Structure 1
Amino acid sequence: MLATPALSAQGDEAPLPSKPGKPINTGDVLSGELNAMKVRDVKNAGKRIATYQITSEPRRLPPPSGLCNLETGPETFQLVPSGDAQAAQLKTFVGKEISIKVDEVACASDPGQMSEAVVTKWSIIKKQ
């Protein structure tokens, strides 16, 4: 007969208390790894479009958005390019750590958005 040790359901680590992230306001910097995804555009007959997303630490958005119905605030931020030039610029940074200056951000609300928050106006900050 073999004896195996009983496994505990909780493990050795206690869960970290979840607290809201620090606020992000217009002009603040958001840093994280840039990911690219292909999604179907619900407004354009289901055409596949490239979508870019930064995964970062949890952040609180300015009112009225606040925490986007999340306990700690959004951690994924979809970047909306303002044109082909911005989209091409993002494409070169996929899989890399980038920093952007946020000019306009809101909670995701449209079907097909893959992030918890959407940054509609932004600019890439060049590393020195």
Structure 2
Amino acid sequence: MTKRRFGKRLAVVATMMTLVTPAVSAQQGDVPPSKPGKPINTGDVLSGELNAMKVRGGKNGKHVATYQITSEPRRLPAPSGLCNLETGPETFQLVTSSDAQAAQLKSFVGKEISVKVDEVACASDPGQMSEAVITKWSLVKKQ
């Protein structure tokens, strides 16, 4: 059976929904159309916050440290373009080619860094956590 207060609760919820719905639709209408980010080419510098993630990889499924830069949306050179996104990728996975590069990045986790991009492409493997992958890069020291 229903409780006696059920009708009152239903009326309060309905009233709240009528008050909230116009405010939500007004906020959605104020969003300007997003435009593609500025292009990033070979030799350009990409800046953003460095994040570390642990993913399983390798032959035995061991945890592998993976690094990611979160930046403003950037457009990649052709043929990758916008990576099937409206504004271009915002997250870039840094592929480390040696233990020295991994150790170099480890000290900068959670901080703003800049890297010089030598090779970049859209993420293509289902296991990749980022929208784009930077396979060749070098760390840029800030003055």
In the TM superposition, what is the alpha-carbon distance from 1:110 to its structure 2 partner?
A: 1.3
Q: 1:120 aligns with which of 135, 139, 142?
A: 135
| More strand as a share of residues | 1
Q: 2:19: which partner in 1?
A: 6
TM-score by length of structure 2 reads 0.82
Native 8 Å contact 1:18 1:71 kept in 2: yes
Q: Could you say what secondary structure the match of 2:72 adopts?
A: coil
| More helix as a share of residues | 2
In the TM superposition, what is the alpha-carbon distance from 1:77 to its structure 2 partner?
A: 0.1
1:3-52 CA deviation, whole Å, 9 max, x = no partner?
767112225461131111111000000000000000111x5232210000
In 1, the alpha carbon distance for the partners of 2:46 and 2:24 equals 36
Partner amino acid, structure 2, of 1:126 = K
* Root mean square deviation of aligned Cα: 1.7
Q: 2:74: which partner in 1?
A: 59
Q: 1:102: which partner in 2?
A: 117
Native 8 Å contact 1:21 1:58 kept in 2: yes
In 1, the alpha carbon distance for the partners of 2:27 and 2:77 equals 37
TM-score by length of structure 1 reads 0.91
In 2, the alpha carbon distance for the partners of 1:104 and 1:96 equals 23
Unaligned runs of 5+ in 2: 1-7
Q: 2:39: which partner in 1?
A: 23
Q: Could you say what secondary structure the match of 1:85 adopts?
A: helix
In 1, the alpha carbon distance for the partners of 2:103 and 2:76 equals 27
Partner amino acid, structure 1, of 2:34 = S
* Structure 2 counterparts to residues 35-74 of structure 1, below 5 A: 35-41=51-57, 43-74=58-89
Native 8 Å contact 1:33 1:55 kept in 2: yes
